[in-house]
Amino acid sequence: MQGKTILITGGTGSFGGVMVRHALDRGAAEIRILSRDEEKQDAMRNRLQEPRLVFHIGDVRDPGSVDMAMAGVDMVFHAAALKQVPSCEFFPLEAVRTNVLGSQNVIDSAIRHGVANVVCLSTDKAVLPINAMGMTKALMEKLVQAASRRRNGGGTVVACVRYGNVMYSRGSVIPLFLRQIRAGGPITVTNPDMTRFLLPLSESVALVEYALNNAGPGDVFIKKAPATTIGTLAEAMRRLFGSNAEIRTIGVRHGEKLFETLATADELAGAEETDDYWRLRMDSRELNYASYFSEGRPDVTRFEDYTSHNTRRLDVEGVIALLKSLPEIQAELG
């Protein structure tokens, strides 16, 4: 990132906040934020007081505003998205407009402007998707791969990262549980046996940087992560903040799964593994169905899906230790 011009779409969100600091530390020459909300931009501008930070009001749905922000950019982190599961269930076309068509606008603009690298942020909910948010993110991954095939591996490298629940991200369950504890309860648990992967925000930034440095066209990068049940998370929060608030089961929300899948057996069969990461290679075969029947993939059965049910499971103590490592929780504990 040293000396580079970086564009972060949706850059005023949780990810953007941490990535901006990281890129500044790494010596970025200019960081552009493309987002819709002038108030959030103003808050970030005042908080950081940083001349290398340049704000663009715009929307990934509007190709013109994307082009304006893209000129002269070296690398793009595409974080703009509709990401709340329930709201996307009620407004699926809005999710298509932002997550699918908006992503295509970003990819097209980056290729047209000769940007070196684009990293698109995807989610475990894009794997075997059942809700509109996940389905539109799955389509975003397909758009990345289609663009990568068309480029025949040259020019702009467009890749994805996929991760599970980012701990303490805006609008997510951990800050909600904390607000409920502060208010004396109840702590509302949808289903205590539901599991989710847990990823500190700092690790999601590290994953994006890893993808930036290692991506080939159309790759998807995954960070191995532990998981926990939501019942365990609620209990860990209660103990950490010395609360005896009631834990109340409220039932699952629209479009929710009991567990999430970060990668399927099929994907893992062709993947490269390191200690911390999986790199899923794009299936770069030609659209030539003759070869599909003569070149099967016998290795698929050696793997099983990588899910929040079968990954390393944290108990209450494990979750408390992870929570204590988060700067936001440290600030709350004082």
Ligand X SMILES: O=c1ccn([C@@H]2O[C@H](COP(=O)(O)OP(=O)(O)O[C@H]3O[C@H](CO)[C@@H](O)[C@H](O)[C@H]3O)[C@@H](O)[C@H]2O)c(=O)[nH]1
Binding site for ligand X (CB under 6 A): 83-85, 123-125, 164-165, 172-173, 176, 188-190, 194, 196, 230, 252, 256, 260
CB of 155 to ligand X, least distance (A): 29
- How far apart are CB 187 and ligand X at their closest, in Å? 8
Measured from the CB atom, the residue of 20 and 121 that comes closer to ligand X is: 121
> Which residue among the candidates 4, 40, 83, 125 is catalytic per the annotation?
125
Cβ proximity to ligand X, 85 vs 236, nearer residue:
85
CB of 166 to ligand X, least distance (A): 7
Instruction: Answer yes or no: 125 catalytic.
Output: yes
Task: Give the nearer residue to ligand X in terms of CB position, either 32 or 137.
Answer: 137
Task: Tell the smallest beta-carbon distance from residue 253 to ligand X (Å).
Answer: 6
Closest contact distance (angstroms) between CB of 143 and ligand X is: 17
Residue nearer to ligand X on the CB measure, 117 or 169: 169
- Is the CB of 172 or the CB of 202 nearer to ligand X? 172
Comparison of 73 and 85: residue with beta carbon closer to ligand X: 85
Closest approach, Cβ 189 to ligand X, in A, equals 4
Secondary structure in 3-state letters for the chain: CCCCEEEEECCCCHHHHHHHHHHHHCCCCEEEEEECCHHHHHHHHHHHCCCCEEEEECCCCCHHHHHHHHCCCCEEEECCCCCCHHHHHHCHHHHHHHHHHHHHHHHHHHHHCCCCEEEEEEEHHHCCCCCHHHHHHHHHHHHHHHHHHHCCCCCCEEEEEEECEECCCCCCHHHHHHHHHHCCCCEEECCCCCEEEEECHHHHHHHHHHHHHHCCCCCEEEECCCEEEHHHHHHHHHHHCCCCCCEEECCCCCCCCCCCEEECHHHHHCCEECCCEEEECCCCCCCCHHHHHHCCCHHHHHCCCEECCCCCECCHHHHHHHHHCCHHHHHHHC
User: Annotated active-site positions, please?
Assistant: 125
